[in-house]
Amino acid sequence: MKFTVKTGTPPDIATDCLVVPRGKAHTIAEKLGVEEQVLLALETTRNETGEVTKLALNGRPSRLLVVGKAQATSAADYRKDMAATAKALADLDVADATLCVGDFEVRDLGAYRKVRLALDAVSVASYRFDAYKSKKPKPRKLRRVGVVGINRVEARRATRDAQALLEGMELAKDLGNQPPNVCDPAFVAEAAQALAGDKVRVDVIDEAQMAELGMGAFLSVTQGTRKPAKLISVHYRGGAADAAPTVLIGKGITFDTGGTNMKGFAGMADMKFDMCGAASVLGVAKAVIAAELPINVVAMVAAAENMPGGAASRPSDIVTTMSGQTVEIQNTDAEGRLVLCDAMTYAERFTPRAVVDIATLTGAQVTALGHHASALYANDDALAAALSEAGERSADRMWRMPLWDEYQAQLKSNFADMKNIGGSAAGSITAACFLSRFAKAFPWAHLDIAGTAFGQGRSSGRPTPALFEYLLAVGANGG
């Protein structure tokens, strides 16, 4: 899918399909010389928010889509209109469509955001993952979507960003949707290596190197599987040579059986998605590279498989983390924090301006917030605010949760510096408390995305949109 900025006004726009708001349908139909046909068609539909009337015309454009209500709309209604438009476009039998974005009257939305909302909706609707269907569904016809009627500078910027996010979302969703017999840590490392290029260097650390670095927590998670673990860093240098990087760290458990504390049947079914944090980190890296953002980013992935077996770790094992702190593993199913803590200590060498880890970390997060908001934790208020505003702008929301000292007491161990679980109360919070002990050297935020990263057996690509929005803002503020 290619997004472009077009020029001209109807009827002088070269396109197969024109998309116009209900309020302008009459005027545009007049210009196209199809007034009668359009009026007749609209007579029989009320055209509420989120409704699209599809008309077939003689000549070019051969399709006219009339969207939404006659009056100006709110941003929320515009979102619904664009989602419906995108759905209609995805199934259309034409290769090219043009959205008359400038004709949509939306209260409280600037030109840039109007274009982004429209094109981001097209991205969502056009995604498919059919790599493993022996009979492929008929390929989508739509190849190009243009926007018209918007200030060219804003439209260009919005189109570039939407195109970049489309590519990032495709990677994030594809990685998430891949089956775990294919998408193992080596596969994730290859996907990261495919990002290497001009301003991009990719480092992959193997288990021997992890042992040398003293990553006892990370290594305890991978000791039960035959799949070698990988610690991946994608270095993107688009900013000034001396600008501190933003470090993103994704949990990349390519399958989470729970280990010795094995999950039950119901709990294990979706655990191929336990690498969705990693997928979103690589996805947003791809978007940042495509958009050539003027910032420095290190996108890290802690990739491993959590399996039971003769070599697996046991509940009550004690390991030493790279930070020197010791951990009593009371539950081998709380493995995400064990790989992340060592990755976080490793990140100190990049002297980051901020570190954000992204993880399908706890079932408790799903209990607390359901599937609408990711849980946000931070040791820095400005970082928390910037992330949460980015989440609002991109409709990829997060909700801040407390990291109060009182909760830290639940991690007390009889024998080690801490244990890796905090009991049944406030499970998402105590997981974040565990991670906070490895975040003393930098501003840090943690996103628990267990409820938002996937649903109905499919990856959602979240929180790639929010992370991209956050990094766009970092760039706009000078890196």
- Residues marked active site are found at 263, 337
Binding test (CB under 6 A) with ligand BES, winner from 364, 376, 418, 467: 364
* Number of C-beta neighbours around residue 222 at 10 A: 29
Structure tokens at 213: 């670095």
Helices (H) and strands (E) in the chain, counts: 16, 19
Task: Tell me if 317 contacts ligand BES by CB under 6 A.
Answer: no
- Measured from the CB atom, the residue of 30 and 270 that comes closer to ligand BES is 270
Answer for which of 249, 376, 401, 450 binds ligand BES (CB under 6 A) is 450
Phi, psi of 362 (to 5 degrees): -145, 145
Q: Segment contacting Zn ion (CB under 5 A): 77-85, 114-122, 253-261, 391-399?
A: 253-261
What residues line the site for Mn ion (CB under 5 A)? 256, 333, 335
Cα separation, 246 vs 212, whole angstroms: 26
Whether the ω angle into residue 465 lies within 30 degrees of 0, i.e. cis, is: no
| Cα–Cα dist 186/192, whole Å | 10
Instruction: For the CB of residue 297, give the shortest distance to Mn ion in the complex, in Å.
Output: 28
Positions in 323-342 near ligand BES (CB under 6 A): 331, 333-336
Number of residues interacting with ligand BES: please give it, by CB under 6 A. Answer: 17
Of 226-234, 246-254, 349-357, 438-446, the window that binds Zn ion (rule: CB under 5 A) is 246-254
CA dist., res. 384 & res. 376, Å (int): 7
Q: How far is 3 from 470, CA to CA, in rounded Å?
A: 22
CB-side exposure of 310: number of CA atoms within 13 Å? Answer: 1
Q: What is the DSSP letter of 151?
A: -
> Using CB under 6 A, which of 421, 433, 447, 472 touches ligand BES?
421
Q: End-to-end CA distance of the chain, in Å? A: 29
Question: Which among ligand BES, Mn ion, Zn ion, none contacts residue 363 (Cβ within 5 to 8 A by kind)?
Answer: ligand BES
Nearer to Zn ion, 120 or 256 (CB): 256
Residue whose CB is nearest to Zn ion in the complex, by number: 256
Taking the least distance from each CB to ligand BES, the nearer of 258 and 443 is 258
Look up residue 350 and give its DSSP letter: G
Instruction: Tell me the closest approach of the beta carbon of residue 293 to Mn ion, in angstroms.
Output: 33
274 binds Zn ion (CB under 5 A): yes
Q: Which residue is nearest to Mn ion (CB)?
A: 333
Segment (H or E) for 465: helix 464-476
Show the binding pattern over residues 9-38: x = contacts ligand BES (CB under 6 A), - = does not.
------------------------------
Pick out residues in 108-147 that bind ligand BES (CB under 6 A). none
Question: Which residue's C-beta sits nearest to ligand BES?
Answer: 363
User: What are the start-end ranges of the E strands in 81-184?
Assistant: 96-99, 144-147
Q: Among 81, 184, 256, 305, which residue sits at the site for Zn ion (rule: CB under 5 A)? A: 256
3-state secondary structure of 310: coil
At a CB cut-off of 8 Å and minimum separation 6, what does 43 contact? none
Cα(337)–Cα(225) distance, rounded to whole angstroms? 18
> Does residue 362 touch ligand BES according to CB under 6 A?
yes
User: In terms of CB distance, is 393 or 462 closer to ligand BES?
Assistant: 462
CA distances from 350 to 142, 180, 214, 437 (A): 43, 31, 18, 18
Give the shortest CB-184-to-Mn ion separation in angstroms. 17
> Which among 404, 440, 439 has a CA at the least distance from the CA of 422?
404
| Residues 326-355: x where in contact with Zn ion by CB under 5 A, - otherwise, as a string | ----------x-------------------
Footprint of ligand BES (CB under 6 A)? 256, 270, 274, 331, 333-336, 360-364, 366, 421, 427, 450
Contacts with Zn ion, residue ranges (CB under 5 A): 253, 256, 274, 336
